[in-house]
Amino acid sequence: MAQWNQLQQLETRYLEQLYHLYSDSFPMELRQFLAPWIESQDWAYAANKESHATLVFHNLLGEIDQQYSRFLQENNVLYQHNLRRIKQHLQSKYLEKPMDIARIVARCLWEEQRLLQTATSATQVHTDMEQKMKMLENFGTKFGPQMDYNSLCQCLMCAMGGLLTAMDYVQKNLTDEELADWKRRQQIACIGGPPNICLDRLETWITSLAESQLQIRQQIKKLEELQQKVSYKGDPIIQHRPALEEKIVDLFRNLMKSAFVVERQPCMPMHPDRPLVIKTGVQFTNKVRLLVKFPELNYQLKIKVCSYFVLYYDFTRSRKFNILGTNTKVMNMEESNNGSLSAEFKHLASLIVTEELHLITFETEVYHQGLKIDLETHSLPVVVISNICQMPNAWASILWYNMLTNHPKNVNFFTKPPVGTWDQVAEVLSWQFSSTTKRGLTIEQLTTLAEKLLGPCVNYSGCQITWAKFCKENMAGKGFSFWVWLDNIIDLVKKYILALWNEGYIMGFISKERERAILSPKPPGTFLLRFSESSKEGGITFTWVEKDISGEYFRTSLEPYTKQQLNSMSFADIIMGYKIMDATNILVSPLVYLYPEIPKEEAFGKYCRPEAAPEAEMGGDSTSTIQPYLKTKFICVTP
């Protein structure tokens, strides 16, 4: 039987897990329409070989066309519409990146197989145990203790022991691998990396496992009833039942403890791109969630926020941290968009502290089926600042910590900060741009930054960078650190030149040697845009090619424009209106082509502010009018 047909016959709880596998990236409708063909392709091979991925992708589009023709003949307007929409989406998203869709489909098929194996194994074991339980009950009421009954007890105890071992394995896989992997992805997302996937699928898996554990616990309790009916010397149930019950309770307790997580890390709403930095007197929000979704727990769990933060520099001390407003809240399913069991907190920090790493802890108690379980989880380390000017250094601490460790309580981290490699630092630096703009850093731009940090080198891969070199020590010949300089450039890009950066018009980081090499063969009027290397506050300038009276080419750079200057006029306007005085005292524009050869008007014209339109005629009678003001235009001129 085809895999897709097998999946559709699963129990509801497994179908819920199946639904979470699919999204707009790979719609379930497409999986349904093309099930046999999809299962016949080697998606794993395509995911690692671009030429094969391209072939499979175009074949996929062809299969969609065939299905569309079939629905056209059947006059099925809805399916026609859905297929056309799906095809357009796939073409727009994956035409240039066919390996991406191959990876997604391969992952979905693998998850399907694992789901089938889990469901089949669980069903077989539960069916087997239920049969044996019924047989035991019959033996106990009709036949009393005899050899077959003893053998059956031995067999049942062995089956239960095997099931608990299997559950232990599945639980370790979920908590030690899947959940740990999600937490690491959450760390990466906090510092600008790829967005973290949601927890819905993990919640479904963990809830399903918890339900199974409670079912097994009920079956073990039934064995106690059998003991009262039939008991004899050497009874396997008497010997093994207590250990089995202790084991299943331990598994359930540990699963519940692991399932209590911080879904959204502390973040100030005014600084969504820099979570884990909170300012005293300013509201921050965070959200906790229990990944065991039992409806009976709705409005039953009271979450308390601990007001003591652990100081990472000295783990022997703790500091009381005042949180204004309520520090308790009840978890409920109504406040979340997906019906998860969660609670969102909004706090105001009121105590002035220094830039040290702290921990916010959440506690609650679960009472369920006679069990009391204490749950505790904590945020990633946060930095508390008292003034927004501390944000750059605070964010540097968050970057360094989350880049280099996934240990939740690395108490010695900043007593002796570990070194990072250039490969790690380069990726994080690129994320600082890509997370808030549409463009990260190119290899060439990163190489320029590596040279500023490490000096000239043939290959920077593997080179080590210390915490001090990154943000504490001043760069050679400068009065500021590398991170202070770069952070101000990031701010400059986001606030003043975002559109130009997104278009790829700003070369930004480029060495003088590289600038000379690429501009030297270009005709006069060719220019490029780069960031200032000498401005602490962040600046941008342009360098262009000129020709002197002897016919020699040379390069000229302008004094950088800073944020203060760009507050009053756009950089596109500056470029379009920039003039210099030539030898005959005539104003001319030295900027003609943006490197390599894009006409200036084509690149920057659409980003210029429109000139003020003439004032409309106004007046009381037909003979009186008010003359419009003369239009003005600001032009930057260099003598």
Rounded to an integer, the average pLDDT of 43-49 is 85
What is d(CA 616, CA 628) in angstroms, rounded to the nearest whole number? 7
pLDDT for the residue 622: 37
581 has a pLDDT exceeding 90: no
pLDDT band at 618 (very low <50, low <70, confident <90, very high): very low
| Joined tokens for residue 392 | 């750059």
446 has a pLDDT exceeding 90: yes
Tokens 């750079």 sit on residue:
557
In DSSP terms, 4 is beta-bridged to none
pLDDT for the residue 335: 67
Percent of the chain at pLDDT exceeding 70: 83
Q: pLDDT (tens digit, 9 = 90+) per residue, 258-280?
A: 999 999 999 998 999 999 998 88
Q: State CA 282 to chain mean position distance.
A: 25
What is d(CA 501, CA 574) in angstroms, rounded to the nearest whole number? 16
Q: Within 10 Å of residue 73's Cβ, how many Cβ atoms?
A: 7
pLDDT for the residue 509: 92
619 has a pLDDT exceeding 60: no
Rounded to an integer, the average pLDDT of 524-549 is 87
Q: pLDDT (tens digit, 9 = 90+) per residue, 221-243?
A: 887 777 776 667 777 777 788 88
Q: pLDDT (tens digit, 9 = 90+) per residue, 63-116?
A: 988 888 888 888 888 888 888 888 888 888 888 888 888 888 888 888 888 777
Q: pLDDT (tens digit, 9 = 90+) per residue, 310-322?
A: 444 443 444 555 5
329 has a pLDDT exceeding 90: no
Helices and strands (H and E) in the chain: how many: 22, 24
The answer for residues whose C-beta is within 8 angstroms of residue 286's C-beta and 6 or more apart is 262, 264, 265, 266, 267, 344, 345, 360, 379
**DSSP 8-class letter at 179:** I
620 has a pLDDT exceeding 60: no
Length of the chain counted residue by residue = 639
What is d(CA 397, CA 410) in angstroms, rounded to the nearest whole number? 14
**443, containing H or E segment:** helix 443-454
pLDDT for the residue 398: 93
pLDDT for the residue 623: 39
Say which residue, 604 or 159, is predicted with more confidence: 604
Q: Would you say the pTM of this structure is higher than 0.95?
A: no
What is d(CA 409, CA 128) in angstroms, rounded to the nearest whole number? 44
pLDDT for the residue 373: 92
pLDDT for the residue 394: 92
Mean residue pLDDT across the chain: 81
**DSSP 8-class letter at 23:** B
| Joined tokens for residue 581 | 């005085």
**Poorest-pLDDT segment among 324-328, 472-476, 590-594:** 324-328
Tokens 């964010």 sit on residue:
395
